[in-house]
Amino acid sequence: MLETEANLGLNQKMNKIGIGLVGCGTVGSGLIRNLPKANPLIGERLGVNLEIRAVAVKDPSKARETLPVPVVADWKKVIADPAVQIVVELVGGTDEAFRISEASLKAGKPLVTANKALLAERGRELLSLAQQSGNPIYFEASVAGGIPVIKVLREGLVANQLLGLHGIINGTSNYILSRMAEAGSDFQTALQQAKDLGYAETDDRLDVDGIDAAHKAAILCLLAYGFLPVFTDIPVEGIRHVSAQEVSFARQLGYVIKLLAVIRPVGSDRVEVRVAPTLLPSRHPMASVHGAFNAIGLIGNLAGPVQLTGRGAGPDATSSALLADLAEAAKNLHDKSPGPLLPKADGKIRLIGKGESVGRFYVRLEVEDRPGVLALVAGIFGAEKIGISSVLQPEGHGAGSVPLVFLLEAAAESSLHKAVALITKLPNCRAPARILRVEDLS
């Protein structure tokens, strides 16, 4: 009995994997807090244990009572520490984060990161380094927090050809749009509520202008199609211009507005990737994803439609994803496995060109309140071969103008913009058109 216990203790000691943490803000603190609770489960399920052995932060003088090891300012010391076998990068941004990641891979240490900007904007360089060094990168925490979408793409749907992905992948924007729909708030009021609750940063541009969602969309494109688009080529539109009036009209038409990321193949060698506020049918499951929650829909040729919903941010949800990556990385080290491979493309895949996107659209006009205007506008749409599926013309707006709202049939984006340009030149048109995407997700 004593010999068995001694052997068990020796094996547990041998199976401990040392972690080096670079950056310890909200996410890093959540990881440290949750690691002791997760370690027994990881040990039981995978036969490895994780141990934080080095931490680097910009200012070690700040009190961090939860940190289990001495803290240094120089991240190079963490990577050089022989007790550190896996490096976790949590500093954010792209420049310093890239240097940390590069150093980790060159030192022969697997990298775990939650940094979606790093992967989306400098992923080509980083993935090349990983291939050259033979060391894997794990990044489950970079997309949708506690939703294990990357593992679903890598493992659960590995036998499927992906026919498309779409998702609500920014919780701040989803909270704002939910408040506008549920409470009738205007954008600025809902944004301030999001800031008061800690969902939005003081500098809200990454969330509200769609940049954060576009970073995640680029990563999903990489996993689904083996193609990482040039980030600046992705069409991105945020929610600042979405008004309470738009939300109300969408409801009357049977839709809700969500900031939606769409990734879908177009033919055999092109992919559409975009982020934009989008009308979704109110009956669709994704329309019922409220507050700061995220949701991702995937369509496999074998599995059919799959929807994943959960908390997309926060220290606990993100640490869940980080711990999953750390556990996988530790298991692969213990088993001397090379780790996960990224899908390979033939190099011919590219983004569709500007204006080539085909889809349905919502268009709101402010026009002179007089007979014949509707027919005039409908004629211009017809001349561009754009069908009209619904028209909403509310009464009682006064001031000589009236909103005119159209739901259009599928059309090329270039044709839509040509028609709208002609309409806005009409003497009857009183304001620039408001255009939103429409996705039926059927």
Is residue 85 domain-shared with residue 210, that is, in the same domain?
no
Coil, helix or strand at residue 158: coil
Residues 45-53 have a mean pLDDT of: 94
CB within 8 A of 117, min separation 6: which ones? 92, 93, 94, 97, 215
CATH code assigned at 204: 3.30.360.10
Give the CATH number of the domain where residue 99 resides: 3.40.50.720
Number of domains in the chain: 3
| Residues 263 and 329 placed together within one structural domain of the fold | no
| Residue 327 and residue 293 in one domain | no
Secondary structure of residue 300 in the 3-state scheme: strand
Give the catalytic positions in this structure: 216
Q: Are residues 424 and 382 in the same domain?
A: yes
Does one domain contain both 295 and 330?
Answer: no
Whether the per-residue pLDDT at 66 is higher than 60: the answer is yes
Same domain, 330 and 296: no
What's the pLDDT tens digit per position in 323-380?
999 999 999 999 998 888 777 666 788 999 988 999 999 999 999 888 889 999 999 9
- Confidence tier at 7 by pLDDT (50, 70, 90): very low
Q: What does the DSSP assignment read for 370-436?
A: STTHHHHHHHHHHHTT--EEEEE------TTEEEEEEEEPSEEHHHHHHHHHHHHTSTTB-SPPEEE
pLDDT at position 398? 58
Residue 348 located in a structural domain:
no
pLDDT in tens, 218-262: 999 999 999 999 999 999 999 999 999 999 999 999 999 999 999
Tokens of 219: 């990563």
CATH number of domain containing 373: 3.30.70.260
The pTM of this model reads 0.92
Q: What is the distance between the alpha carbons of residues 108 and 89, in angstroms, rounded to a whole number?
A: 15
Structural domain harbouring 122: 2-145+317-335
Looking at the structure, tell me whether residues 158 and 301 fall in a common domain.
yes
What are the C-alpha distances in Å from 212 to residues 110, 198, 219, 275, 373? 25, 16, 11, 10, 40
pLDDT for the residue 59: 87
What is the structure's pLDDT at 314?
86
Query: 3-state DSSP helix/strand/coil percent for the chain, to nearest 5?
Result: 40, 25, 35
Residue 428 lies in a domain: yes
Q: What is the pLDDT, as a whole number, of residue 347?
A: 74
